Structure 1
Amino acid sequence: MDIYALPSEDHQVRFPVMAASKSEGQSAWPDLPPELLGAVLRLLPSLADRVRLRAVCRQWRNSAIVFPPSHLHLPWLAFTDGTLLDVVNNAAHRVRIPDDAVCYSAGENTFFLVHDDGRCSLVDLFYGGTATPLPELAALLRASKVDPRYELLQPVHKVVVSTSSAELEEDCRLVAVIIRGGNVIISTCRPAGETNACLALDNYFNFSIADIMFFQGRMYALAKVHEALHAVDLNKGRIDQLPALRPPGIEVIPGAASAEFEMIQEPHLQEDPWPYGHEVARRYLVESNGKLLMIRRWIRKPLMSFSYYAMTEFHDADGYGLDRTRRFEVFEIGHGQWNSRRRWLKVQSLHGQALFVSSPCSKAAPAADHGAQQDCIYFSHQFYRRKMDDPLGDSGVYSMRDGTITRPLLPEPAAVSASLPWLRRFPTWVFPVEA
């Protein structure tokens, strides 16, 4: 399966072909001196160019590992047709996705593919390589009647993949999938040909799930309504030994108060024409500096008794109304002042970090290393298409320091809207790293 990253027509780079015949006194490209290749790599500011260079041959790929980029990169935005948007350089690229597959972002370089015949796999769409099949997980998804093509029901809400850590067995990775109804299926991810353990966590949670993530050897699930956080011990990744029913003594962290905020607390919102309050539309879990954070995204509160005419009076200049993001709140897990029970505590600073949030994939990153703004939340959200030429929808940068939102995220996303059909799925952050 050829799934190496491809440039768009406007950003294509062609490498000249050198004769490989030694008798003609010429060297093949793989024999380029490492120091010369390193000098070229240091001059490549774009991750896309480094991806193309690494794809030439094995020797160039190995050299790219020896000569890492001088700085980390901002994440990209991914769309389900294989379009990748480099936000920093406002450049669109494409990856080859099989025609019979639906693609979900699952973290650093990792994508989760679900084929029309039910097959599932994990694959690195940036640097290629062999896909890792997940037949046991695919069987559970089929048993749950999950059809990835039926977008109106959003059958797969989110996919998360653990990284190897001291809390898990060596070379152990886990994959968790939220399917419709808030159920979670978790599977090991072993090399092709090895049997995976799978577990449907239908009875572990008695609430609608807002988000899940792997953190310090556990899987955390956040309740959508009351924001209680449930922690499941993953037993070093040996999930085949976990009980099928919710075990006793599972840790639960109570939710945080979510009273509506007053406009006077947010001076930049005082001119918001919507007079009927705001509500929390989405909650995200993110790990930052070794801590687990919960992020709330607030929007205008809908009022069902409004006529269509009355609702249009409160649309912003760019056409967004009720589902418009107005502010964010960030909480971390701490201890209460009067007892030792853990609880959500509101924070005012990200301590040099920047947050990148989207429903399918969110992450924190050092702002200075990535060229991002400190104490800012980069968000991307799209429930449905407001405008055919606006693929990013409700996106922007929220400052925790003064509460302001900078929009749009990109004035004119390059070569994205023309390739996208009408979708309900959200654009999602992906976090490419060189490996």
Structure 2
Amino acid sequence: MEGARSRPWSDLQPELLGLVIKGLPSLADCVRLRAVCHPWRSNSILQPPPLPFPWITLPDGTFLSIPAGEIHCLPVPADACCQSSIDNWLFLVHSDGVCSLMNIFSKATLELPELAKVWKREIGRQFLNRFPEPVSYRLAVPPALDSSPNPLVVTVIIDSFNCGTLCISHPPTVTYSFRGGKESLPHLSGVAFLDGKLYTLSDCWKLLALEFCKGFVECGGKLLMVERFIDPVASRTNGREVFDERAKTVAFGVLEADLHSKPARWRVASDLGGHALFLGKHSSKSLPAQECSGSQEDCIYFMCDYPPPESSANPLRDAGIYNIRNSTITPLHPRTTVVPPCHAGQWRPTWFFPPGAV
């Protein structure tokens, strides 16, 4: 009896190929699969892969892919420094102080030339001699920037006095701004859109809602406030908290806003509704875990983004996956514990979401 003859891999059924694509952990693996043969490339177009796992920006301006551990270099203006991100857009501050948003894949750019000027004007109303410095930028947009012909960008600028200034822009113009902590306005620490409303979070956990026509994060139609607990191996130098290299995240607390009560109340959340939450000081985003390659349901993904930029050369030093259901923490990237020192720089570590198609 003649032995069974094996069929070539190019004859793999599209249904099976689809299962393989769904299990691929990174965007690079999807590209390699499409390059195997023409039938695989043709059939993979009919089997759209899940969204790739987000990358992490490194301080030197490169990007680290998880879990492959590959470092990518993408074209960014030489005089620009990434301070935050939203989806696959980078929030850049240029050497002359001008801010912009840039999609490094489509090359689209939204100029925000007035942002720094407006922030300084708001600061000047309170301080005459001693000015704070911007520490972090937190962004929110109602629809995706790529699909909006007239985008709205909301920026909360947190300064070294731990106070937030909110700026609402229709690029390139800032149409509205106010600084928290003055008069009757609370200190602002976060911002998010939900159902056509812009919600801001104060440092006393109070929600303010602003109506629009069209770490604090939206997750599966809910507003969450996430508190990160770090083992306090820290000291204060010149009024600034300095973290020891032994500092380590030990737990998270997750609260959900009850928007039906007046005023809105917070209640403990026991799950994330099947979502994966990518939490960061400079950018946060949630996705259904089934739609994001390699992610797990009801888990919070975090990195080391709490030291100042000059000591944050390794975002993986205190990075992991927190399971909200059983309160366990596992490493974000077991195979890579140290980012090479050559990647030190002034970029802020943040989540970056590459597009699903190449």
Structure-1-length-normalised TM-score: 0.60
Give % identity: 32
Counterpart of 1:396, as a letter, is G
Distance 1:49 1:124, change over 3 A: farther
Distance 1:209 1:417, change over 3 A: farther
Deviation, structure 1 residue 413 = 5.6
Is the contact made by 1:358 and 1:426 (CA closer than 8 Å) also made in structure 2?
no
Question: SS at the partner of 1:95?
Answer: coil
Question: Which of 62, 66, 80 pairs up with 1:83?
Answer: 62
Question: Which of 407, 417, 420 pairs up with 2:343?
Answer: 420
Please report the RMSD computed on the Cα atoms of aligned residues, expressed in angstroms.
3.9
Q: Aligned partners of 1:209, 1:227: CA distance in 2, in Å?
A: 10
Question: Which of 282, 285, 288 pairs up with 2:216?
Answer: 285
Deviation, structure 1 residue 86 = 0.8
Deviation, structure 1 residue 137 = 2.6
Whether 1:384 and 2:269 are equivalent positions in the alignment is no
Distance 1:229 1:388, change over 3 A: closer
Deviation, structure 1 residue 327 = 0.7
Q: Aligned partners of 1:179, 1:51: CA distance in 2, in Å?
A: 39
Question: Which of 188, 202, 209 pairs up with 2:179?
Answer: 202
Which residue does 1:300 correspond to in 2?
A: 231
Question: Which of 191, 199, 212 pairs up with 2:191?
Answer: 212
Whether 1:137 and 2:115 are equivalent positions in the alignment is yes
Deviations 1:176-200 (A, max 9, x none): 24141311222113xxxxx634222
Gaps of 5+ in 2: 1-16, 33-41, 125-131, 237-242
Which residue does 2:168 correspond to in 1?
A: 186
Is the contact made by 2:191 and 2:217 (CA closer than 8 Å) also made in structure 1?
no
Distance 1:179 1:303, change over 3 A: closer
Distance 1:119 1:66, change over 3 A: farther
Question: Which of 283, 291, 301 pairs up with 1:369?
Answer: 291
Whether 1:47 and 2:27 are equivalent positions in the alignment is yes
Q: Aligned partners of 1:382, 1:393: CA distance in 2, in Å?
A: 9
Q: Aligned partners of 1:398, 1:122: CA distance in 2, in Å?
A: 30
Deviation, structure 1 residue 302 = 6.5
Question: Which of 371, 380, 404 pairs up with 2:328?
Answer: 404
Question: Which of 315, 320, 342 pairs up with 2:264?
Answer: 342
Q: Aligned partners of 1:406, 1:133: CA distance in 2, in Å?
A: 40
Whether 1:231 and 2:162 are equivalent positions in the alignment is no
Query: Structure 1 or 2: larger strand share?
Result: 2
Distance 1:79 1:67, change over 3 A: farther
Q: Aligned partners of 2:264, 2:315: CA distance in 1, in Å?
A: 40
Q: Aligned partners of 1:179, 1:102: CA distance in 2, in Å?
A: 17
Structure-2-length-normalised TM-score: 0.72
Question: SS at the partner of 2:273?
Answer: coil
Distance 1:346 1:207, change over 3 A: same
Is the contact made by 1:136 and 1:198 (CA closer than 8 Å) also made in structure 2?
no
Distance 1:209 1:381, change over 3 A: farther
Gaps of 5+ in 1: 1-38, 53-62, 147-152, 190-194, 237-283, 306-311
Which residue does 2:256 correspond to in 1?
A: 332
Deviation, structure 1 residue 378 = 0.8
Deviation, structure 1 residue 231 = 1.5
- Quick one: higher RCO (CA 8 Å, sep 6+), 1 or 2? 2
Matches within 5 A, 1:154-173: 155-164=134-143, 171-173=150-152
Deviation, structure 1 residue 362 = 0.7
Distance 1:49 1:393, change over 3 A: same
Instruction: State the structure with more CA Rg.
Output: 1
Is the contact made by 2:88 and 2:353 (CA closer than 8 Å) also made in structure 1?
yes
Distance 1:304 1:131, change over 3 A: closer
Which residue does 1:32 correspond to in 2?
A: none
Q: Aligned partners of 2:118, 2:265: CA distance in 1, in Å?
A: 34
Deviation, structure 1 residue 290 = 1.0
Q: Aligned partners of 1:143, 1:51: CA distance in 2, in Å?
A: 48
Is the contact made by 1:80 and 1:102 (CA closer than 8 Å) also made in structure 2?
no
Counterpart of 2:209, as a letter, is A
Question: SS at the partner of 2:86?
Answer: coil
Is the contact made by 1:118 and 1:138 (CA closer than 8 Å) also made in structure 2?
yes
Q: Aligned partners of 2:76, 2:153: CA distance in 1, in Å?
A: 23
Q: What is the number of equivalent residue pairs in this alignment?
A: 308
Q: Aligned partners of 1:419, 1:303: CA distance in 2, in Å?
A: 26
Deviation, structure 1 residue 303 = 8.7
Which residue does 2:10 correspond to in 1?
A: none
Counterpart of 2:329, as a letter, is I
Whether 1:71 and 2:2 are equivalent positions in the alignment is no
Distance 1:121 1:387, change over 3 A: closer
